Amino acid sequence: MEKIIINDIEIELTKKNIKNLHLSVHPPDGKVKISAPKNMDDDAIRLFAISKLSWIKKQQKKFKNQDRQPEREFVSGESHYFLGQGYILNVVYTNKRRQGVKIRNKKYMDLYVRENTPKYLRERVMTEWYRKELKKLIPPLIEKWEPIMGVKVNEFSVKLMKTRWGTCNPTAKRIWLNLELAKRDPICLEYIVVHEMVHLLERSHNERFVAYMDKFMPNWRALKAELNGLIF
Q: What is the pTM of this model?
A: 0.74
Summarised one tens digit per residue, pLDDT across range 195-232 is 999 999 999 988 899 999 999 999 998 888 888 754 33
d(C-alpha 100, C-alpha 150), whole Å: 38
Cα dihedral sign, 65-71-8-161: negative
Summarised one tens digit per residue, pLDDT across range 43-100 is 999 999 999 999 899 888 877 765 455 678 999 999 999 998 999 999 999 988 778 9
Structural domains of the chain, ranges and CATH numbers in brackets: 2-67 (no CATH), 79-228 (3.30.2010.10)
Amino acid at 195: H
Taking a C-beta distance cutoff of 8 angstroms, is the pair 94, 100 a contact?
no
